[in-house]
Structure 1
Amino acid sequence: MHGDTINEEEKNISLKIVVSKSKKIVCYAEAQEDFVNLLCSFLTLPLGVILKKMRNVSWKGCLDQLYKSVQDLDEQYLKSNYHKELLVNPKLAPGYQYKKTLLGIEEMSFYYVDKKLTTDTSCIPHNSSAESVKLDVVDPKSHEDKDKSAQGFLRGPAIFTVTDNLVVRPISPILEMSVLQELKVPFTDIEDHIVHVGNREALQLLVASFLGESALTDVFIRQPKNVYKVYN
């Protein structure tokens, strides 16, 4: 369904969605742990990152006005440009990124300078390189797991049922039947589609999850204008 948006060199996630033909909605999806890892990663994002990615989306609240205020504030009113960057372009905490994140958000680095920890590279002496004082932070997701190939937050292989409003459960025919009953969608009205989630779709899912309660439908079926205003 999104074949024209996929870069073959990009790491994509395949996802099976069950669609109501008459209502044009996604009833639920059957996903492996890679897609659920992506959804879980939304919970690790700093608020400033989310606002940056959604900067062109029209909000009814005032938080985006706060973001724009800091963004437009002259540096003379802030301690430094570095402090401004902490607010308008924050980074992930060390260890919270994983190989197939798709969101393209940089991870923070810590440096040990003058017996202190800092993330500010301007504090590094000119006679030292960043790599020489950079700390190798223990991955909080590893729990002393020696398997370096392990990625994300969930054990695999596993399959999950994900509803349109992003309720995630281990795959269950009973849950899927109850979802169809709640939506009043008969079995004769559903069909399966395979969609692919790359960088753009991942960002659209992030935006859609904040704008409404039908994230999967908004991204893969309705494609509202707000979702396509994601700043990338």
Structure 2
Amino acid sequence: MPLGTIVRLLGKQSQMGYLDEVYNSVEDLSSDYFQTKACKAMLLKPLNAASSHCHRLKINIDDTKPREVYVCKDTSCYAHCAFSSVPDTLCKCGKVMEYAGDRPENDAKTAAAGSDNGVFVIGSQKFITTDDLQIGNVKIKVLQTRINSAVLYAEVGHDFVDLVFGLLSVPLGCVTKALSQRLSKGCIDNLYRSIAGSAEGCMGPDYKRMLLAPELAPFFGSGASQILEAAESAPKKIKVDSRFSCFKIGGFSNLGRCREQAYRYNSSYGCNRHEFTYCQNTTKTAEICELDPKLHGVQNSNCDAYVKQGPQSFMVTDDLHVRPLTLDSSLRVVSEGKVQMKDLVEKEVALTKLQIMELQRAALMTCEALSSVLLPPKKKKKNLKHLMY
């Protein structure tokens, strides 16, 4: 399940570090800062690439609808045979795609998989579950205290914000795989190791790979997923039993309109003549291909980015809350931190891949994500009472 889905389903009280703040930041940020309006929807309600399997679970708490199909309803549009699974996606002609129904579930492999009484696990086996669930370089400016005790905020560009926001679309299994033993909070590490170890032989190899190295839904990849080396599923193709222009009008609920019978009044004979209203084009099937929701019409400078490129600077506080950088917001953070200006220092930092991965880990682990990565570790105070003996 994508991290953003977990945060949303838990009412932004997931206690997964400060991902809740990241999610709130996406909600609060105007759509103008994203490549497209659909990009914001992709982060707030990311799709699960394994949804066709997850919906067969006896308990499935994910309420996303990955089978929704949106198409351009303009029958004269030149961008033929394109669809999207994300609302507010722009067609190449510039119009917003509209809902055309839910695509039918026609994956024979998925249907056959349900015959063995399990989804991921083979057969009706029994298990023991213990109480702990065991089975690029980016440049930023940092405003911090002179004594290295805390980071107030970082002044960042769109590239850093995209790395933070993109984490919401990454499946939890990808993060666990990439960060390995560094996710010490909670029981997810134990659950992951159980699938990789003690659960050997209890599930098919395809399902095991799906859990240990889950893929992102098509076009949900970003700089964050690239850092974590998370793969992205191939775009879907759907075959419809209709001409595409008829499908635009009728959607999945009225695919038979190409072949329906009708009566027409023929004035030359003064009577009704029974005839078929066949479309002029004899082709009655179409294959529609999934369109990238991040595309803004036919122009797009960075197909992986959620956040729009530009000169706009953003403020990221220590708890990973993101907002546009303004003088007012800067002064407010300094005031809330109860720090005098003379005690502050600004530093420019070039983050390495390792630091970015540490920041991704910190986003799930601590309420001081920036400080934990950018400042030297705090020295533990010596126990004077112990030294007296």
Pair 222,92 (structure 1): closer, same or farther in 2 beyond 3 Å: farther
Q: Distance in 2 between matches of 1:73 and 1:111?
A: 34
Note if 1:82 corresponds to 2:196: no
Bigger CA radius of gyration = 2
1:33 to partner: Cα distance: 0.7
| Alignment root-mean-square deviation, CA | 2.6
Q: Distance in 1 between matches of 2:302 and 2:183?
A: 38
Note if 1:147 corresponds to 2:299: yes
Q: Residue type matched to 1:76 in 2? A: G
Contact 2:151-2:370 at 8 Å conserved across structures: yes
Contact 2:162-2:223 at 8 Å conserved across structures: no
Q: Residue type matched to 1:89 in 2? A: A
Note if 1:96 corresponds to 2:215: no
How many residue pairs match? The answer is 193
Contact 1:103-1:199 at 8 Å conserved across structures: no
Structure 1, gaps ≥5 residues long: 1-10, 116-134, 225-232
Note if 1:219 corresponds to 2:219: no
Q: Residue type matched to 1:25 in 2? A: A
1:112 to partner: Cα distance: 6.4
Contact 1:161-1:168 at 8 Å conserved across structures: yes
Structure 2, gaps ≥5 residues long: 1-135, 241-287, 379-389
Note if 1:41 corresponds to 2:195: no
1:173 to partner: Cα distance: 1.6
Query: Counterparts in 2 of 1:45-84, with a 5 A limit?
Result: 45-57=170-182, 59-78=184-203, 80-84=204-208
Higher relative CO (Cα under 8 Å, sequence separation at least 6) belongs to: 1
Cα deviations by residue, 1:189-224 (Å, 9 ceiling, x for unpaired): 111111112321221111011110111111111358
2:316 corresponding residue in structure 1? 162
- Give the TM-score normalised by the residue count of structure 2: 0.46
Q: Distance in 2 between matches of 1:52 and 1:25?
A: 30
Q: Residue type matched to 1:154 in 2? A: V
Q: Distance in 1 between matches of 2:238 and 2:294?
A: 26
Q: Residue type matched to 2:207 in 1? A: H
2:350 corresponding residue in structure 1? 196
Mean Cα deviation higher: 192-201 or 207-216: 192-201
- Give the TM-score normalised by the residue count of structure 1: 0.74
Q: Distance in 2 between matches of 1:73 and 1:83?
A: 15
Mean Cα deviation higher: 42-51 or 190-199: 190-199
| 2:347 counterpart SS class | strand
Q: Distance in 2 between matches of 1:221 and 1:179?
A: 19
Q: Residue type matched to 1:150 in 2? A: N
What fraction of aligned residue pairs are identical, expressed as a percent? 28
Q: Distance in 2 between matches of 1:99 and 1:164?
A: 21
1:82 to partner: Cα distance: 1.3
1:66 to partner: Cα distance: 1.4
Q: Distance in 1 between matches of 2:238 and 2:198?
A: 30
Cα deviations by residue, 1:105-158 (Å, 9 ceiling, x for unpaired): 22222576999xxxxxxxxxxxxxxxxxxx96422222x431231341122312
Contact 1:48-1:89 at 8 Å conserved across structures: yes
1:50 to partner: Cα distance: 1.4
Q: Residue type matched to 2:373 in 1? A: V
Pair 14,45 (structure 1): closer, same or farther in 2 beyond 3 Å: same
1:23 to partner: Cα distance: 4.5
Contact 2:216-2:232 at 8 Å conserved across structures: yes
Pair 103,58 (structure 1): closer, same or farther in 2 beyond 3 Å: closer
Q: Residue type matched to 2:173 in 1? A: G
Q: Distance in 2 between matches of 1:35 and 1:136?
A: 31
Mean Cα deviation higher: 105-114 or 58-67: 105-114
Contact 1:67-1:88 at 8 Å conserved across structures: yes
1:160 to partner: Cα distance: 0.5
